[in-house]
């Protein structure tokens, strides 16, 4: 029965691929079902080439807000570039699987070396926001990283206490005001936590969470984001 069901699923997917082929989100060219962009458009993505344990622009920005160990950003989040379109596909167009693709791009580029974190913590959505979107855009991303690097992902360790509109719908002045607060669901200590978010803009969200974590004895914080806004 299991083999039969697996066959049905495979056949159904083949039919869907024929009727509704996957297309590059940038140029609309037909591409394989498990990728986001064609090879030509892939070359247009502005990857940062940061080293996790070295000094970089993201780490410098975080230092102004909270004590940080290391930092990594996958892409530059510039106006009208492809990375912005990719993030918007993930967050606002119900393409949750984009998170897995992005995670695979990270694993191709990120080596923790001797600074491997103890725990992965993705920024939580308010339950109302998660219900509206249908998923947390960071969970599949973090889960894929967790499986690759063999680091536990504690998606319920932090909760968001207040509901607010999406960052993309708020102007820069609004984002400078910290309206959302976070709290830990359990006490932690002696942990090196890797905070995961989609885009680093002002850094206020990550800073709020980081200071909650740093209340625990001997905790350390590092940061990983899909993209970094200049």
CATH code: domain of residue 176: 3.40.50
- Please tell me whether residues 34 and 53 are part of one structural domain: no
The tens digit of pLDDT for each residue in 138-175 reads 999 999 999 999 999 998 899 888 766 555 545 554 54
**Both 37 and 7 in a single domain?**
yes
Higher-scoring residue by pLDDT: 51, 16: 51
My answer on whether 130 and 19 are in the same domain is no
Positive or negative, the CA dihedral 109, 89, 44, 175 is negative
| Total-model pTM | 0.83
Tokens representing residue 224 in the block: 């990983």
Tokens representing residue 109 in the block: 């580029």
Tell me: do 118 and 202 sit in the same domain: yes
Same domain assignment for residues 172 and 210: yes
Q: Residue 35: CB partners within 8 Å, gap ≥ 6?
A: 22, 101
- The residue that leads in pLDDT, 129 or 65, is 65
Provide the domain limits for residue 93: 46-229
Q: Percent of the chain scored above 90 by pLDDT?
A: 62
Residues 26 and 71 in one domain: no
Could you report the per-residue pLDDT of 41-79, keeping only the tens digit for each? Answer: 999 999 999 999 999 999 999 999 999 999 999 999 987
> What is the total count of domains within the chain?
2
Q: How many CA atoms lie within 13 A of 109 on its CB side?
A: 18
Same domain for 16 and 79: no
Q: Are residues 176 and 211 in the same domain?
A: yes
Tracing tokens 């970094």 back to the chain, one arrives at 228
146: left (phi over 0), alpha (psi -120 to 50) or beta: alpha
């Amino acid at each position: 029965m299991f083999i039969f069901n697996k066959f049905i699923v495979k056949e159904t997917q083949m039919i869907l691929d024929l009727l509704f082929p996957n297309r590059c989100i940038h140029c609309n060219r037909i591409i394989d079902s498990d990728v986001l962009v064609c090879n030509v458009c892939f070359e247009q993505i502005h990857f940062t080439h940061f080293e996790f344990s070295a000094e970089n622009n993201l780490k410098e920005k975080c230092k102004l807000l909270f004590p940080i160990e290391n930092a990594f950003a996958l892409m530059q989040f510039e106006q009208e570039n492809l990375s912005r379109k990719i993030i918007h596909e993930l967050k606002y167009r119900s393409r949750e699987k984009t998170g897995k693709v992005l995670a695979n791009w990270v694993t191709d580029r990120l080596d923790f070396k001797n600074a491997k974190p103890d725990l992965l913590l993705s920024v939580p959505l308010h339950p109302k926001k998660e219900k509206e979107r249908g998923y947390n855009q960071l969970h599949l991303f973090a889960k894929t990283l967790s499986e690759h690097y063999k680091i536990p992902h504690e998606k319920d360790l932090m909760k968001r206490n207040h509901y607010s509109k999406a960052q993309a719908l708020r102007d820069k002045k609004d984002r400078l005001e910290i309206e959302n607060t976070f709290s830990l669901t359990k006490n932690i200590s002696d942990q090196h936590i890797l905070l995961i978010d989609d885009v680093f803009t002002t850094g206020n969200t990550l800073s709020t969470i980081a200071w909650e974590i740093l209340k625990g004895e001997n905790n350390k914080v590092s940061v990983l984001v899909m993209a970094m806004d200049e």
